[in-house]
Amino acid sequence: MEAIGVATGWIYGPYAYTGRLGPLLLGVPVLIPFAWFMMAYPAFIVACQVLDEPPVAPRRRWGVAALAAIWMTAWDLVMDPAMARMGFWVWKTRGPYFGVPLQNFAGWMATMLLIYGIYLWVSSRWPSPVPSPPGAPLMEAVLAYALAGAPFVLHPLLNPRADPTAQALGLIAFFTMGPPVLIATLRSHSFKVMRK
């Protein structure tokens, strides 16, 4: 999807990587698929927890996929403008959202729905024979998701002279990435045990 996006501008809007993220393959840094997975898994697990669905073969497959895709895109709402400002990629057409075209976020949603949809289709046909204990991957996933948003929130708090864009992105991160973390934590098995 990234290679098609870079080559055509069709999925995310017209952009190009600068090479600052390391070697490129088909115009895309080799690191990028790992970055997608680094956030795709926590967003998916958090969505499963919030909807009280198992991560393998959930009953409400498209509900899980849609919620996880939204929360994955929430991360991009803060990550994309910040990384573009640091010169990791360049938008060839300046968009209305901190220079990012709105098409980018629709592309993220579509990409993640496709990825989650494929995973859920496969997992419904070949579920894991080893059940995971209740809440096993949850706190790690919640922590990973929270840590991805934390720098954006903390930077303006720790640096009162942060520019207005950094301050705005901090607020956006807090109000888009904070609720999934809070809801998943409150619904977690560990939290319920601590309250007893």
Q: For residue 134, what pLDDT band results from cuts at 50, 70 and 90?
A: low
The DSSP bridge partners found for residue 90 are: 16
Q: Is residue 16 within 8 Å of 27, Cβ to Cβ?
A: yes
Q: Residue 148 has which token pair? A: 């991805």
The mean pLDDT value for 72-97 works out to 94
Note the pTM of the prediction, 2 decimals.
0.85
Q: What is the predicted pLDDT for the residue at 193? A: 47
Lowest mean pLDDT among 36-40, 63-67, 93-97, 184-188: 184-188
Q: Which helix (H) or strand (E) holds 140?
A: helix 138-158
Q: For residue 196, what pLDDT band results from cuts at 50, 70 and 90?
A: very low
Q: Is residue 127 within 8 Å of 56, Cβ to Cβ?
A: yes
pLDDT in tens, 146-162: 999 999 999 999 998 98
Mean pLDDT computed over every residue of the chain:
88
Report whether pLDDT(96) > 90.
yes
Q: What is the predicted pLDDT for the residue at 107? A: 96
The DSSP bridge partners found for residue 24 are: 29
Q: For residue 129, what pLDDT band results from cuts at 50, 70 and 90?
A: low
Q: For residue 187, what pLDDT band results from cuts at 50, 70 and 90?
A: confident
